[in-house]
A and B are shown apart, each in its own frame.
Chain A
């Protein structure tokens, strides 16, 4: 409105510099403005304020809407999945109130598993949570349905919310996280197909995406992957080369692995009396030092040669020793533990089992050794993990506590009680936050037994009580979440 702009201009400059006039005033105001300016006793400021008030009232009495111009807004396509039940929503309220991410993950996993989606009003809160917690993003995309994807186009922070109903769709149209997820899934069933998919799009991917997607090949990796990975060592990107090198180290039989094996075979031998001798036979022109093997030991008690060999032992598949010594793995394990020359390499052997995710030998080793090897825990069958932890908990409590949160299955009641008793002894280390992190692993059945646990230290009792009450609340929510989907599935 020109007349209002003129008022603002005069006001900015001041009436001392610019006099008010009726020039730009609309017709209906001219007569009134003329009266204001013609009044003999009013000063210039008064005249201006009266004119300004006139235009102000004219403006606010005759505001007009703007004729809608072109907009790129589209209407959200209809949903293909059903909304979750009112009970599930109630459980979601409790979950969001608890601000517990593992419980929110559980809720979203169940929602996705039941092929359900969230009603629209909850989407902003879930998408906001997912933008802050990367681990929730793929689940959020699934739970928020088409409306979530539609909404996310207006908020850059939510651009992970692409709906993809099938694995193929996820690979073709998804975000990098979704594509990685899809590739890992395909890789699990058909490793060659997954590799072929990645090879097909490889030239179009950026270096960062290449490095991220290449990581999917660690699932089901084998000799068939070696030629391509070896070719990738010539890629421009350092990041990609590092991932390819790491993957190659996981392939027994790859040229890299064979180089390591050969050095070890020549260095570690058995004499005619069955005694194992260790003499580092490292060729001077070897290329292994370009593959991440360090030359110098940083421990005065470990020689450089021993240090190099220990790194190689950790990167060579443990079955090599069975062939090398013509012995069973149990016999190999005994040799490593009993022979003075091999004993320093026991930790590397354990690392090798872990590196190649060798479940069979992991189980064998823990059954034949009194030493606690925490790194082998994830390779043990679920039921054995609990037993193994229980067996060594008292001696290695703090160490075990670092791992128990990573277990994939719900703890047994016996293990849960043992862990919670330990927490009660150290409530300032294992606080409400710890309970929040562990909540999906703690069986609901311990709720009734929690009263049996109390802090031995009198000073800790009140604090542990509040932690315990917090845990009860979380367990109630967890049960409610599970029931809310079970009842309505």
Chain B
């Protein structure tokens, strides 16, 4: 745990941030085991990369490397997890004991990989320029066929919704899960995977908890509004049309988006949320532009046991990145066009209290009635307990309820000690979930 001190890479990750990058609990645990000097045959870093050779059970050590500029990662182990336990271990070891890593010339296996990456990027850029002209007729035909399929599916969905409200929701708790799952399958057949996802969420509702009626009704109305809006999309603004198409399940070409100019800023990664549904892992990264003061949501989808394509920034870290927002009436979702690690900058910018948040939310709602969770940074919120419920109270004594399934309550309380803290929260309407706080000038992920 000692070592010769040299300079360090631009990678500025804390242990917590590295652990937040791990794909699951077992990788976190295995990574911690590997974050010890005894496990590494060699380690080092250069301006472009961080690397290490980890002695596994085989005769040859695994070669683990990180492109510190673009935050890309590779390991010679057979694991399909991303990053694998060796990657987590290497980054954790580096986060803990930077002094043990010495700046040196890259070994050949690192240089090869970095060069290949550069070549590949150049080739891709070239391909984009040399792209074949699109066969518009065929494309239109395909789009028309899908539109018909989706429209037919939506007609059926609307009939289903009407049947439900005609007969009443009182019997839903007994048959809700199967009923929604069956309709979700129908929506998959109709190529409306976005609506299928909403239906699957409805199947997961806890029908024996208080308040299921509102949760169910909200989702039912979202389906209704999305279906109606799609069937009358010619009457909508182009940006809103795009939102509706996304909600239905039309995807947007990321390659096409990447050709557009984005917004370059230093982005603080406020937090990450992960959900898994039938092997599909959805990671939601909430970002905040320190200069532009804009929030952004970057989604990453991966299939369990399939390698990821991009190493995402660690929650609590900063990246210098160009983000391209997806077209929307109230843009929030974005993709990272280019990124590089940036020094930590934890200055706070945000709303004074709930009044500002609600004004902003009303604005979003007026442009995009079917809006999802938003992220807000608020200057001073205090967690308070009243009547057995937890609330977030602002300086004007206005309160919003903490989501009942919020897992970081104890850490939040420990940091607060009953005092107000600047906070980043996710939510909408009257329920919110903190994802991080500014504590003694540093941003702490919850």
Contact = CB atoms under 8 A, between A and B. Distances in A.
A473 B398 contact: no
A45 B355 CA distance: 36
A71 B385 contact: yes
Contacts of A73: 382, 384-385, 418
A48 to B, nearest CB: 6
A124 B15 contact: no
A7 interface: yes
Interface stretch (A32-40, A51-59, A108-116, A274-282): A51-59
A154 to B, nearest CB: 6
Contact of B358 (A7, A57, A65, A150): A65
Interface in A49-82: 49, 52-53, 56-57, 59-76
A57 B365 contact: yes
Interface in B13-31: 15
Contacts of A68: 384, 386, 391, 393, 397-399
Contacts of A4: 214
Given A49-B224, A52-B217, A151-B410, A11 B168 contact: yes
B366 A124 contact: no
A121 B411 contact: yes
Point out which of A64, A65, A93, A472 has the most chain B C-beta atoms below 10 A from its C-beta.
A65
Contact of A12 (B38, B213, B218, B224): B213
B177 interface: no
A120 interface: yes
Contacts of A65: 354-355, 358, 394, 398-400, 430
Contacts of B221: 49, 52-53, 56
A488 to B, nearest CB: 15
Interface bin, chain B: 35 or more
Interface string B359-392: 0011001100101000000000010111000010
Interface string B405-446: 000001101110111000000001110000000010000100
A65 B166 CA distance: 34
Contacts of A124: 410-411, 414
Contacts of B217: 7-8, 11, 52, 56
B1 interface: yes
Contacts of A56: 217-218, 221
Contacts of B35: 97
Contacts of B236: none
Contacts of A76: 417-419
A75 B162 contact: no
A45 B162 contact: yes
B414 A121 contact: yes
Contacts of B96: 90, 93
Interface string B1-16: 1000000000000010
B166 A64 contact: no
B165 A59 contact: no
Interface string B92-128: 0000100000000000000000000000000000000
Interface in A3-37: 4, 7-8, 11-17
A403 B125 CA distance: 70
Interface string A137-162: 00000000001001100110000000
Contacts of A90: 96
Contacts of B36: 473, 476
B417 A97 contact: no
A262 B384 CA distance: 68
Contacts of B167: 14, 16
Contact residues of A: prevailing secondary structure: helix
B225 interface: yes
A121 B444 contact: yes
A72 B388 CA distance: 11
B175 to A, nearest CB: 14
B161 interface: yes
Interface in A466-487: 469, 472-473, 476, 480
A286 to B, nearest CB: 59
A70 B15 contact: no
B89 to A, nearest CB: 11
Contacts of A53: 221, 224-225
A420 interface: no
B168 A63 contact: no
Nearest to B213: A8
Nearest to B97: A90
Contact of B410 (A12, A71, A72, A155): A155
B170 interface: yes
A224 interface: no
A66 B386 CA distance: 12
A46 interface: yes
Interface in B128-176: 161-162, 165-170
A4 B215 CA distance: 12
A62 B413 contact: no
B32 interface: yes
Nearest to A56: B221
Given A49-B162, A97-B32, A121-B411, A476 B384 contact: no
Contacts of B419: 75-76
Contacts of B225: 53
Contact of B430 (A63, A67, A147): A63
Nearest to A90: B96
Contacts of B369: 57, 60-61
A48 B165 contact: yes
Contacts of A151: 410, 413-414
Contact of A45 (B165, B397, B428, B439): B165
B384 A71 contact: yes
A66 B165 contact: no
Nearest to B392: A65
A49 B162 CA distance: 8
A48 B169 CA distance: 13
Contacts of A46: 162
A188 B85 CA distance: 51
A74 B355 CA distance: 25
A66 B362 contact: no
A314 interface: no
Nearest to A122: B414
B418 A74 contact: yes
Interface in A117-144: 120-121, 123-124, 127
A435 to B, nearest CB: 15
Interface in A91-110: 93, 97
A11 B165 CA distance: 6
B418 A17 contact: no
A56 B165 CA distance: 15
A482 to B, nearest CB: 12
B1 to A, nearest CB: 5
Contact of A67 (B166, B366, B399, B428): B399
A75 B410 contact: no
Contacts of B165: 11, 14-15, 45, 48-49
Nearest to A52: B221
A60 B400 contact: no
Given A11-B168, A14-B168, A65-B355, A473 B386 contact: no
Interface of A: 4, 7-8, 11-17, 43-46, 48-49, 52-53, 56-57, 59-76, 90, 93, 97, 120-121, 123-124, 127, 147, 150-151, 154-155, 469, 472-473, 476, 480
Which 9 A-B pairs give the minimum distances between C-beta atoms?
Answer: A14-B168, A76-B417, A124-B410, A65-B398, A75-B418, A68-B397, A45-B162, A65-B354, A61-B365
19 contacts: A4-B214, A11-B165, A45-B166, A49-B161, A53-B225, A56-B218, A59-B429, A60-B428, A65-B394, A66-B391, A66-B400, A66-B401, A68-B391, A70-B386, A71-B385, A93-B15, A120-B417, A473-B36, A476-B38
Given A12-B168, A67-B399, 15 more contacts: A13-B168, A60-B365, A61-B365, A63-B428, A65-B355, A68-B393, A68-B398, A70-B386, A71-B391, A73-B385, A76-B418, A76-B419, A120-B414, A123-B410, A123-B414
